[in-house]
Amino acid sequence: MLEICEIFSSVQGEGWRQGIASVFIRFFGCNLKCKFCDTPLAFKKRILMDEKEIINQVGILAKKKARISNVVITGGEPYIQDFSMLANLLKKDGYFVAVETNGTIWREIGVDWICVSPKRQAMKFLKNGYDPRFKKIAGEFKYVIEKKADIDFIDRSITQPVILQPVNNELRVTKMLFNAIKKSGVPNWFFRPQLHKILGVK
């Protein structure tokens, strides 16, 4: 059984794979408590579901909108739970499986894409805020930027795309990010606001 918060269909609103129609499986709970967290529901709504129930719900949502083939496992923090069987079943059914994680918990689970979003508070127990093993397999790293210290926190040794996301799409932070990108000239840094928030959709 897995602890799920919600399952819904939408368009990926953030990160490198922004704009792709997806079914989202939001897991319950997180091991971090970020003050800017925009998914408080992940700490409140808890539904116990087995893998077959989840797959069935994903299938219903995927077929409603033609045929969605992208599934995003998100949270909260998905790696608190062992979702390896779920990932295997989704892949067997032909879905492209992406995961969004803060990178603090390591599990070797076969998925197609991993977005690691390190947080500064995790530096208390991990040097760069994430388990270094993710560096070998992640498709992207995403940093939520609130102030200059968050830009300084970015691991410059990352070679994958590094998404810089202004917290809550704040204009002040957006301007700061533009200046930082312009000044640094780092070729794998990309500015990406949260499209779903701009459009006012889920």
Q: What is the 3-state secondary structure (H, E, C) of 121-172?
A: HHHHCCCCCCCCCHHHHCCEEEEEECCHHHHHHCCCCCCCCEEEEEHHHCHH
pLDDT tens track of the chain, all 202 residues? 999 999 999 999 999 999 999 999 999 999 998 877 777 777 888 999 999 999 999 999 998 767 899 999 999 999 999 999 999 999 999 999 999 999 999 999 999 999 999 999 999 999 999 999 999 999 999 999 999 999 999 999 999 999 999 988 888 988 998 888 888 889 999 999 887 777 666 6
Residues 83 and 73: beta-carbon distance below 8 Å: yes
- CA–CA dist 102, 109 (Å, integer): 15
Q: Are β-strands 162-166 and 140-145 bridged in parallel, bridged antiparallel, or unpaired?
A: parallel
pLDDT at residue 84 in the model: 98
Domains of the chain: 2-199 (3.20.20.70)
Residue 113 per-residue DSSP state: E
Residues 114 and 139: beta-carbon distance below 8 Å: yes
pLDDT at residue 28 in the model: 95
- The alpha carbon of residue 193 and the mean position of all alpha carbons in its chain are separated, in whole angstroms, by 14
- CA–CA dist 66, 49 (Å, integer): 25
- Report CA torsion sign: 16, 19, 22, 25: positive
Cross-strand pairs, 164? 143, 191
